[in-house]
Structure 1
Amino acid sequence: MSGEKIPINRTMVGVISLACLLTAGYLHQFVTVEQFAQKVAATGAFMRVGLLMFAFWLALPGKNREAAWANVSPWFFVGLILAIFGVAYRPKIAVPLIIIFAVIGFVLRPRKKKRSPRR
């Protein structure tokens, strides 16, 4: 049994993630502490599991593509870590940082069409 590969259904991982996140949102929004004494603990647990399953869903390879992080450069991870520390240190820079990354991503994205030769 140790030599067998266990198939992982990417769709099921996404459904579990969505169910956990929706449950956490429901508990947070509509349930009071008087109705459910462990509301805070349950909401936190569902949120953490939902986010973890969402990250797992992103990382899994699909039928038509490789794993999500298969073709990502190391510089992207360095920039992501610096952005996380920057936003944690100064939360007001989040919006300008998102705008800057969006502009850089728009400018540096690969082109799909080849240009026609000049005449």
Structure 2
Amino acid sequence: MAIAELGAVVLDCPDPRSLADFYARVLGGSVEGEGDWIDLKVPGGRALAFQAAPGFVPPKWPAPDHSQQFHLDLTVEDLDAAEKEVLALGAKPLDTEDRARTFRVYADPAGHPFCLCAC
């Protein structure tokens, strides 16, 4: 039984609109939103999102000492229940203090960030 459903793949970048436009040209779809968060609705697929990241440093590949600059948003029915399950699997809380928000941030066992998001 799965704990979550993939909501969106989110890429940090210096210019969300520009990068969304690039991927829209590559993948098709429609670009939606303004400002620091832009969504690309891909035909027949999940959303690809672009988030402004001040001080963005592009990843180097392959280079184990540089971040790949993305995180996963995982949609869940029940944040509290999902949190218990991911913590039991080895996730570490990164930003879970504000229990009123519709998302919580964790690190996977290798340290990559991901969010549990209420659907």
Length-normalised TM-score, structure 2: 0.22
More strand by share: 2
Larger Rg: 1
Q: Which has the higher contact order (CA 8 A, sep 6+)?
A: 2
More helix by share: 1
Length-normalised TM-score, structure 1: 0.22
